[in-house]
Structure 1
Amino acid sequence: MPATDHLVRRLRGTVLPAVLTPMDAGGVVDVDALRGYAERVAAGPIGGVAVWAHTGRGLYLREADRLRVLETWRAAVDGPLVAGAGVPRSVRATGLRAAVDATVAMAVQAAEGGADAVMVYPLAQLDGDDEAAVALHEEVAAASGLPVLGFLLHGEAGGYPYSPQLVTRLLALPASAGIKLATLDRAVACQDAIRAAHPGRKLVITGEDRMFGPSLMWGADTALVGIAAARVPLTSAVLDAWRAEDHGGFVRASARLDAFAAATFRAPIEGYVQRMLWAAAWEGLIPEEVAHDPYGPRLPSSEREAVVTCLEVLAQHADGP
């Protein structure tokens, strides 16, 4: 598929932030704050953006808010826009067919809204059924007309382990542009998936916020990560140094990113969205009053202080982005 090949060429070696959704404590999306955030992120060193992902609470948003998010980012970003597609929390999918239908419907909405690709959320009903998983990706591609990305997501965020065999099969699909790996802390699972992806053919996309540098060393060639939702230059510096074979710069940039990841991607893991919102507010990307995640766990004020302290230390000892 020419569109798929073109997308692979455009995205390889770039960072796509899995962007946040500015909202108040009641879950009301602030459109003006969203527009300003989109303009600021779009001005950074990005290859595109990912909307409706876990970081932006895509499956939790009301349909009207999801469409507004997509519209806003489409207007702000010239590069490719990847949209997550899964089962919205508002949809009661009691069986596999209903879950597949909901995922396909979300993918079609993404296509109609101007997305360039769809990242397919794993469905819990498919755990252990590789045939059905492959069929899901085929159906999403056929209905939306867009290239698809697989999504190996860790269990803490609602995913399940994809076998290496499934990774290989998904990337063999004509409409497949690549696969995003977000195993959290499963180094062996990440390595096995990268090996099964046969790097160089399709995109091997790291979503490994806590293993970002190592995942590049193992063979990932592109990034789609929540950690870039607030710190794009900090993230892109690692990928750029690796691709330039600047090993000294890579080690330094990785150490800085790892420090930020340790402050934001920690137990409870679902709290990372709130921590990233705090970071985005500290960076001036969004106003404080819309830096809320009503769908995650409540975190004590000490958590915010830890995030801010990390950012202040990084700013004081900056030797690069």
Structure 2
Amino acid sequence: MSVTHLVERVRGTVLPAVVTPMDAHGTVHFGALRRYAERIAAGPVGGVAVWAHTGRGLYLSDADRDRVLRVWREVLDARLPVVAGAGVPRSAGRVGAREAADATAAMAVRAAEGGADAVMVYPPAWLDGDGDAAVALHERVAAESGLPVLGFFLHGEAGGYPYPPELVARLLEVPSVAGVKLATLDRAMACQDAIDAAVDGKLVVTGEDRMFGPSLMWGADSALVGIAAARVPLTAAVLTAWRKGDHGAFVRASGRLDRFAKVTFRAPLEGYVRRMLWAAVWEGLVPEEAAHDPYGPGLPDAERRAVVACLEALAEDDDGPVA
């Protein structure tokens, strides 16, 4: 898929950063994954993002990553694009920049071989803010994988580092870079400055789960978010209303999504994956036995009750999707 084609397919749509169902031992539950994929693909999505932070992509084995991608590729067929994350975990700082760059490029190549349509490059925190090296990494990933690339401005709590506006602009000037995903968490100024640095014709992809509505108002034109891993219509309704110019519906939908975000994207932040799995269980997307996150913190039962109570309240006052 060319950069132009990817931009045309993704702009104005929501791509869930999907979870990876696992059992209590941390083994990927592939039966549950296929059923989950079929349900997500039937919803109001413009594609999906696999191997992302929400799906614990950097922690999976090569074999499991390949199989996860294969399931999504089979379910989505050629109808919807699959974006695959490529990078190394934050511990890669111990192995050196060259090794980390090699591993990132190799993961991107495997994504291409598995049928991905684009690669989202995890922020190379191990480069210590070296903008030239960051640009070179994105160019290398695109060249070796043959796929369009998305930059990824990820907050430090999830292993990223802040891209200054000038680096965002430089990345988007690379012909093989289709856009940049912004996930600054709660840094409104950083998000606004990055959007202002965007280059015409490239995607500005919001990953702002706690600032979703505002990020659209600031200029984001599509979404790739973990909060859409369950209850996809909550997220899609906000983007749809904004693009239709229905400001009343936008305010209502944004308020509903913010209520959900408040109980799922909260401290400890790495607990959000488990909270989204709880939401997926409530929705019937994932069975209880496949709703485990071995890489996040343990959470008290009260947090699950809060997630369920929020979902039940939202269901009671659901005024239907935006037409």
Q: Please give the alpha-carbon distance, in whole angstroms, between the structure 2 residues aligned to 1:263 and 1:168.
A: 34
CA contact (8 A) 1:93 1:99 kept: no
1:276 corresponds in structure 2 to: 276
CA drift of 1:127 comes to: 2.7
Find the aligned partners of 1:73 and 1:244 in 2 and give their Cα distance: 30
AA partner of residue 22 (structure 1) = P
Instruction: Tell me the SS of whatever aligns to 2:108.
Output: helix
Q: How many residues align?
A: 319
The residue type paired with residue 141 of structure 1 is A
Deviation, 1:91, is: 7.3
Letter of the 2:24 counterpart: A
Residue in structure 2 matched with residue 187 of structure 1 by the alignment: 188
Show the counterpart of 1:43. 42
Residue 19, structure 1, aligned to residue 8, structure 2: no
User: What residue in structure 1 maps to residue 139 of structure 2?
Assistant: 138
Checking the alignment, whether the CA contact within 8 Å between 2:93 and 2:126 is kept in structure 1 is: no
Pairing of 1:239-254 with structure 2 (within 5 A): 239-254=239-254
Residue aligning to 1:76: 75
1:90 and 1:209 map into 2 onto residues whose CA distance is 25
Q: Quick check: 1:74–1:115 contact (8 Å CA) kept in 2?
A: yes
- Measured after TM superposition, the shift of residue 126 of structure 1 is 1.6
Q: What are the ranges of 5 or more consecutive residues in structure 1 without an aligned counterpart?
A: none
Q: Which runs of 5+ in 2 are unaligned?
A: none
Q: Secondary structure of the equivalent of 1:255?
A: helix
| Percent sequence identity over aligned pairs | 75
Tell me how far apart the structure 2 counterparts of residues 248 and 178 of structure 1 sit (CA, whole Å).
Answer: 29
CA–CA distance in 1 between the matches of 2:103 and 2:91? 10
Contact 1:59 1:89 in 2 (8 A): no
User: 1:111 aligns to what?
Assistant: 112
Query: Considering only aligned residues, what root-mean-square deviation do their CA atoms show, in Å?
Result: 1.3
8 Å CA contact 1:85, 1:104 repeated in 2:
yes
Partners of 1:90 and 1:282 in 2: how far apart? 34
Q: TM-score when scaled to structure 1?
A: 0.97
- State the match for 1:291 in structure 2: 291
| Change in CA separation of 1:162 and 1:51 when aligned onto 2, cut-off 3 Å | same
* Equivalent residue, structure 1, for 2:156: 155
Distance, in Å, in 2 between the alignment partners of 1:150 and 1:320 is 34
Aligned ranges 1:46-61 → 2 under 5 Å: 46-61=45-60
Q: Is the 8 A contact 2:205 2:223 kept in 1?
A: yes
Q: What are the superposed Cα offsets for residues 61-110 of structure 1, whole Å, 9 maximum, x if unpaired? A: 11111111000000011201000000158979610000000000000000
Conserved? CA contact 1:44–1:233, under 8 Å = yes
CA contact (8 A) 1:180 1:207 kept: yes
Alpha-carbon distance between aligned partners in 2 of 1:122 and 1:133, rounded to the nearest angstrom: 8
Q: Specify the alignment match of 2:30 in structure 1.
A: 31
The question of whether the paired residues in 1 share the 8 Å contact of 2:10 and 2:222 is answered with: yes
Q: What is the alpha-carbon distance in structure 2 between the residues aligned to residue 3 and residue 116 of structure 1?
A: 9
- The aligned amino acid for 1:243 is R
- CA contact 1:11–1:48 (8 Å) conserved in 2: yes
**Aligned-partner Cα distance in 1 for 2:48–2:193:** 26
Aligned partner letter, 2:100: A
Distance 2:178 2:231 in 1: 25
Mapped to 1, the partners of 2:320 and 2:264 lie a distance apart of 21
Q: Distance in 2 between matches of 1:112 and 1:290?
A: 27
Q: 2 CA distance for matches of 1:80 and 1:306?
A: 34
| TM-score (normalised: structure 2) | 0.97
Distance 1:251 1:71 in 2: 38
**Equivalent residue for 1:6?**
5
AA of the residue aligned to 2:185: L
